[in-house]
Structure 1
Amino acid sequence: MQTQILAQFLATPAGREADAILRSCVHCGFCTATCPTYQLLGDELDGPRGRIYQIKQVLEGQTPTRITQGHLDRCLGCRSCETTCPSGVRYARLADIGRHLVDERVARPWTQRLLRTALVGLVPHPARLAPLVRLGRLVRPLLPAALAAKVPRPRPAGDWPAPQGRRRVLALAGCVQAIATPLTNAAAARVLDRLGLDLIEAPQAGCCGALAYHLGAQAQGLDAMRRNIDAWWPAIESGCEAILITASACAATVKDYGDLLRDDPAYAERAARVASLARDPTEWLSAADLSPLGTPGRGRRIAFHAPCSLQHGQQIKGLAESILTRLGFVLTPVPDPHLCCGSAGTYSLTQPVLSRQLQANKVAALESGAPELIATANIGCQLHLEAGSRLPVVHWLELLDGG
């Protein structure tokens, strides 16, 4: 694609990066066919190719409007387009640059500003989020059904095995997962314990930074990334083999730390090191001897939901399914497995109408094979699907733990 980016943008690292991404696009339109929002709305401007053109126009000097902002806001960030693209266009990165550029030039309505400020100020901070979750559980019987469904049910973590001085792997506690589903990391610790490894958390590490970064508070997001690097670094220097991140969306973000902080002279080298150590549990367990786990599946029928952050963001396909099959689970068929469930971070709150449509479609697909439960690999998808399904929805690591 030919570009005529303004000099003021080409003078910045982000502008030069955007120009390189735009030039790699051949505007073939293959991405449109797999875009969830284009499938729902049928509007070229609500597909990847249309959004790419809108970002290009802004970089070339066209003044953006609330309409431009709305089309970019409706992007899920699912990255299905990246999986489809034959030219390797880094659409997600271009979208981040474009959104930031437009948000600097277009004022949002006060309601949107308030919602986004509240999300950035509350969700990435477990100490602030925990009281709200406890209150929600307390008043859940009094809430409307749609709102009550969004309140996560308690999932006690159970015992976390004490380190035995063996090979060590770091874990990311995260933000929402640490409060809503602490069982996930505890289950991972018990599974790894049976496989002869110690899983440890760094208390100072928290939100991966994705939520703030993608809601326009990029400086706060980058600060969260730096905090995690500082928290993990002593364990990395002392020989931790990997950073095992059980939320696939967080794993996709941590794997991008090297790119996101490459222009920070104080953190670039360490960020690249952290990104190289980041692993999704599927990558670690797929090559492991799982015989100590036995066959917890025992023929149980489950539907596996592959989060977009796993199959498109990290480009990991089929590993979780293979592990579950090895352990005796029977995977039921899921139509259109590449499509997003509508969770997409905070999308269910910022774009509730589209999110509910995608949720209904995904739940119908997952339930179509008559499974007894649904398993997934990301906290956001887990809570979102649970709010719309009649079946239990669990993290797939819980199944390995015997859940």
Structure 2
Amino acid sequence: MQTNLAAFIKDTPEGKEADAILRACVHCGFCTATCPTYQLLGDELDGPRGRIYLIKQVLEGKPATSKTQLHLDRCLTCRNCETACPSGVKYGRLLDIGRRVVDQQAPRTWSQRLQRGALKQLLVQKWLFAPALQVGQMLRSGLPQKLKNKVPEKQDAGIWPQRQHARKMLLLDGCVQPAMGPNINSAAARVLDACEVQLLIAPKAGCCGAIRYHLNDQDGGLTDMRRNIDAWWPYVDGSNGEKIEAIVMTASGCGVTVKEYGHLLAHDVDYAEKAQIISALTRDLSEVLPEFEARLSSKLNGKIKQRITYHPPCTLQHGQQIRGKVEGLLRSAGVDVKLCVDSHLCCGSAGTYSVLQPELSYQLRDNKLKNLQATNPDVIVSANIGCLTHLQSGTETPVKHWIELIDSALNAVN
């Protein structure tokens, strides 16, 4: 695709990156067939190809409008289009660049600014979010259904293992997951403890940066990333006496972001090198456990009797391009795990999308659940807190993180 970027962005790092991405696109349309919002709305401008065209126009100098903003807002950033693209177009990065420019040129309404500002403040700060969720859980039975959907039932975190091991890994505790699904990280710690690996948490680490970054507070998101690097670095260089070999992610939405720290901070002279190292050390939990597959399968084979269906999050299968690992781990433990029809499509959660675009989000959730329920599961498992909460809001079938399934079976064995 030929480009002629406007002077305001042409020679900036973002402009050069956007130009390279735009030039890679050949407008073949393969992406359109895999786009969840295009499938729902049937509008070219609500598919990747149309959005790329809109972003190109804005970067070439055509003023952005609220309509441009709407079509970009409707994108889930599921990155399914990246998986489908034969030309390797980095659509997700182009969207981040385009959204920032559009928001600068087309100021949002007062209500939109208030809603987005509240999300950026509430979700990323555990000291605010955890008490607010606790109040919501106490009042849950009387909440309106739309609000009730966002408030999962209270969950016990279980016991965090206290054994010391020579092998150590860091765990990103995250911002909303410790309150919404406290058993997930504890389960990961217990399973790895059984594999003689100790999980550590850096007290000063927090939100991975994805929430603020993708809500167009990119400076705030980068600040979150720098804070995490500072918190993790003593464990990386071993200066605190606890040198780690990997940084483990139990939420794939966080994992895809931390793996991109090196790229996002590439122009920061103080953090670029450290960010590259942090990204290189980052592993989704499904990338860590295959090393211990034989040990786990010998303990678990045939012990998990439920019918299990797995929903692979977009941030795992499209963002991180990780497929088959969770299913492989479960099958090695004797689980006949299933995938549903259209397992490549987004469930509609997509971070804050279910709050900002509820109508589309719930249509996608209901479509996904229809396909999942067609497999007749006893339990649905996934790998991201957003997917778990969103899916559970629409079904009585238990929806859990896959590591909770393994942990529960190990406890039953022992």
- TM-score range relative to shorter protein: over 0.9
Q: Contact between 2:293 and 2:329, CA under 8 Å: does it hold in 1?
A: no
- Mapping of residues 269-284 of structure 1, within 5 Å: 269-284=273-288
1:399 to 405, 408, 412: 405
Q: Deviations over 1:288-336 (max 9, x none)?
A: 2442461164332111000000000000011101101111222134000
Distance 1:195 1:73, change over 3 A: same
Query: What CA distance in whole angstroms lies between the structure 2 residues aligned with 1:287 and 1:316?
Result: 16
Deviation at 1:141?
A: 1.5
Deviation at 1:179?
A: 1.1
Q: Contact between 2:171 and 2:249, CA under 8 Å: does it hold in 1?
A: yes
Structure 1 residues not aligned, in runs of 5+: none
**Is 328-337 or 208-217 further displaced after alignment?**
328-337
Say which SS state the counterpart of residue 374 (structure 1) adopts.
strand
Distance 1:376 1:292, change over 3 A: closer
Query: What CA distance in whole angstroms lies between the structure 2 residues aligned with 1:77 and 1:289?
Result: 32
- Mapping of residues 145-156 of structure 1, within 5 Å: 145-156=145-156
Q: Contact between 1:163 and 1:200, CA under 8 Å: does it hold in 2?
A: no
Residue 127 (1) aligns with residue 132 (2)? no
Say which SS state the counterpart of residue 168 (structure 1) adopts.
strand
Match of 1:325 in 2: 331
Query: What CA distance in whole angstroms lies between the structure 2 residues aligned with 1:127 and 1:5?
Result: 43
Amino acid at match of 1:128: L
Residue 232 (1) aligns with residue 232 (2)? yes
Amino acid at match of 2:23: R
Deviation at 1:145?
A: 2.9
Amino acid at match of 2:253: A
Say which SS state the counterpart of residue 204 (structure 1) adopts.
coil
1:370 to 354, 376, 386: 376
Say which SS state the counterpart of residue 75 (structure 1) adopts.
coil
Deviation at 1:78?
A: 0.1
Query: What CA distance in whole angstroms lies between the structure 2 residues aligned with 1:333 and 1:236?
Result: 37
Q: Deviations over 1:169-207 (max 9, x none)?
A: 000000010111111110000000000100110010010
1:259 to 256, 263, 284: 263
Structure 2 residues not aligned, in runs of 5+: 410-414
Distance 1:142 1:259, change over 3 A: same
Query: What CA distance in whole angstroms lies between the structure 2 residues aligned with 1:244 and 1:327?
Result: 21
- Mapping of residues 201-220 of structure 1, within 5 Å: 201-220=201-220
Query: What CA distance in whole angstroms lies between the structure 1 residues aligned with 2:157 and 2:147?
Result: 25
Q: Contact between 1:174 and 1:208, CA under 8 Å: does it hold in 2?
A: yes
Deviation at 1:8?
A: 2.5
Deviation at 1:163?
A: 4.4
Q: Contact between 1:157 and 1:182, CA under 8 Å: does it hold in 2?
A: yes
Query: What CA distance in whole angstroms lies between the structure 1 residues aligned with 2:84 and 2:68?
Result: 24
Say which SS state the counterpart of residue 112 (structure 2) adopts.
helix
Say which SS state the counterpart of residue 77 (structure 1) adopts.
coil
Distance 1:165 1:324, change over 3 A: closer
Amino acid at match of 1:308: C
Q: Deviations over 1:194-232 (max 9, x none)?
A: 001001100100100000000011111000000000000
Query: What CA distance in whole angstroms lies between the structure 2 residues aligned with 1:301 and 1:291?
Result: 23
Say which SS state the counterpart of residue 2 (structure 2) adopts.
coil
Q: Contact between 2:235 and 2:244, CA under 8 Å: does it hold in 1?
A: yes
Deviation at 1:131?
A: 1.3
Q: Contact between 2:296 and 2:333, CA under 8 Å: does it hold in 1?
A: no
Q: Deviations over 1:121-148 (max 9, x none)?
A: 1101110001110110111111123322
Q: Contact between 1:332 and 1:370, CA under 8 Å: does it hold in 2?
A: no
Query: What CA distance in whole angstroms lies between the structure 2 residues aligned with 1:56 and 1:202?
Result: 41
Say which SS state the counterpart of residue 287 (structure 1) adopts.
helix
**Is 157-166 or 96-105 further displaced after alignment?**
157-166
TM-score (normalizing by structure 1): 0.98
Deviation at 1:355?
A: 0.2
1:355 to 352, 357, 361: 361
Amino acid at match of 2:89: V
- Mapping of residues 2-401 of structure 1, within 5 Å: 2-238=2-238, 239-292=243-296, 294-295=299-300, 297-401=303-407
Query: What CA distance in whole angstroms lies between the structure 2 residues aligned with 1:195 and 1:112?
Result: 47
The alignment-based identity, stated in percent, is 55
Query: What CA distance in whole angstroms lies between the structure 2 residues aligned with 1:40 and 1:78?
Result: 15
Q: Contact between 1:299 and 1:330, CA under 8 Å: does it hold in 2?
A: no
Runs (4 or more) in structure 1 with deviation over 4 Å come to none
Distance 1:292 1:64, change over 3 A: closer
